[in-house]
Amino acid sequence: MKNESIAELLRPYAELDEKSLRGVSKYIDLLLKWNARINLTAIRKPEEIVTRHFGESFFAAKLLTLAQGDTVIDLGSGAGFPGLPVAMLYPEAKVVLIESNGKKAAFLSAVVAELGLGNVQVFNRRAEEHPGRADVVTMRAVEKFDKALPLAVGLARGGGGVGLLIGTGQIATAQSCAKDVNWAAPTAIPGGNSRVLLAGIKKVTVE
């Protein structure tokens, strides 16, 4: 896709510079190529990929407002959303993409190499095996959401952030499954797909 078309589609979600728009274009090309071999997304039209995947991810990334040197973990990264757009928007942050599926991890590594994202590490193992904690943990479109959420919260440091890209029907589940997070009111994502960013701060436990 042309950069101008991508910019127009993303306008309700985020304003990107030319370098980021070129990155999105390359990313889409790789996603469509790899999607013919492995199941990365059910969405096939480039225009819908821009709005549903990139738009949602960049919108959430802007609201996360990361600082210099912040660490981010994207749990169950899959096709790389929102983790890779977060890394593109915040080159000063350190982003870890946790993806246990080998083929999907290989795709993520290919995108990282193609876009030259030196601030990204692909962790091709289970979340339980990751040794560190992050300033912010993100999660989107994972299987077994109620089981994955406690893992996501566990990967956040005390006082760190948790950002979930979910449907409105999952809000109550998130709030009940993660009582050690002080959740803010959900923010509706543009596009009218009943999607929200549910963000909160993990409570600091006193030993």
Nearest to 143 by CA among 75, 72, 68: 75
pLDDT, tens only, 129-145: 999 999 999 999 888 89
Q: 40 or 143, which is more confident? A: 40
Torsion angles phi and psi, residue 120, rounded to 5:
-120, 135
Domains delineated in the chain: 3-202 (3.40.50.150)
Pseudo-torsion of CA 89, 126, 205, 141, nearest 10°?
A: 50
Percentage of the residues of the chain whose pLDDT score is greater than 90: 89
> For the segment 84-132, what is each residue's pLDDT rounded down to a tens digit?
999 999 999 999 999 999 999 999 999 999 999 999 999 999 999 999 9
What percentage of residues in the chain have a pLDDT greater than 70?
99
Average pLDDT of the chain is 94
pLDDT at 207 over 70: no
Report the C-alpha dihedral over residues 108, 112, 114, 116, rounded to 10 degrees.
180
Give per-residue pLDDT as tens, 164-193. Answer: 999 999 999 999 989 899 999 999 999 878
pLDDT at residue 206 is higher than 70 = no
pLDDT at 173: 92
Rounded-to-integer distance, Cα 34 and Cα 21, Å: 20
pLDDT at residue 29, rounded to an integer: 96
Residue 65: predicted pLDDT:
81
